[in-house]
């Protein structure tokens, strides 16, 4: 098998054959004509499980107030093809792959599905070579940025509900929201909502709608309480 450049994971493999296998697409192995060449599909299978487990571990430890449904949605955003493609692109994985001639000609080196699968294979190889810790260290920055981006897009948590669940544990505590400012032209207003705890202003949030402003005020309160 020809030697390849290894992707920039920051991890030094003790067994270089493992990562070499992780970079071998099935199309290359199929064109090996009897040579002992193993493709990356088994490592991909392993890496998928490692990725999902570490994503779940990260979310469980860092988003204690998220319900199971929100955690499931958030994990899906961290392990999907698009997320893996971004990681693969960041480390230059496409340039390192061993592809068959047909896959090469058809643009496989930059195809998201090919890169995402190979990324999982690299994670599997890293796990076999060094255990969970190097994989965890490599993935954590991507988990941090990916979860923040998913939450920013409002695809996940209802912050007002999450805050209410915390506050209602103490029946003496009451929260309410008031729109305290609206600026900009009529077709493009920005609203400011103030969150009051027992009639005392606690946090503020802004948004392009009153609902968004209230959600951001609730999010700020959760951050203030150390819940996000």
Cite the active site residues: 48, 120
Going along 77-121, which residue ranges are E strands? none
Tell how strand 190-197 and strand 175-183 pair up: antiparallel
Q: How far apart (Å, rounded) are the C-alpha atoms in residues 130 and 61?
A: 23
Decide: 109 and 94 in contact? Cβ < 8 Å.
yes
**CB crowding 173-192: b at 16 or more within 10 Å, else e:** eebebeeeeeeeeeeeeebb
- Please enumerate in sequence order all residues whose Cβ is within 8 A of that of 201, keeping only pairs 6 or more positions apart, or say none: 194, 195
Distances 110 to 43, 70, 85, 87, 97 between C-alpha atoms, Å = 20, 32, 9, 13, 10
């Amino acid at each position: 098998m020809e030697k390849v450049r290894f992707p920039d994971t920051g991890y030094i493999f003790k067994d270089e054959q493992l990562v070499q296998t992780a970079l071998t697409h099935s199309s290359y192995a199929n064109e090996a004509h009897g040579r002992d060449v193993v493709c990356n599909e088994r490592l991909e299978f392993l890496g998928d499980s490692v990725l999902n487990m570490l994503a779940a571990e990260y979310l469980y430890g860092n988003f204690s107030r998220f319900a199971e449904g929100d955690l499931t949605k958030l994990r899906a955003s961290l392990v999907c093809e698009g997320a893996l493609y971004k990681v693969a692109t960041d480390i230059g994985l496409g340039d390192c792959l061993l592809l068959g001639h047909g896959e090469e000609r058809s643009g496989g080196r930059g195809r998201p599905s090919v890169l995402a699968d190979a990324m999982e294979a690299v994670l599997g190889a890293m796990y076999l070579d060094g255990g969970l810790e190097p994989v965890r260290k490599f993935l954590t920055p991507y988990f941090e940025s990916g979860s923040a981006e998913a939450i920013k897009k409002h695809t996940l948590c209802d912050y007002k509900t999450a805050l209410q669940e915390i506050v209602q544990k103490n029946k003496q505590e009451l929260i309410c929201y008031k729109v305290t400012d609206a600026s900009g032209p009529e077709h493009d207003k920005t609203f400011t909502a103030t969150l009051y705890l027992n009639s005392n202003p606690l946090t503020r949030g802004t948004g392009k709608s009153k609902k968004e402003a209230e959600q951001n005020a609730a999010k700020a309160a959760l951050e203030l309480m150390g819940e996000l």
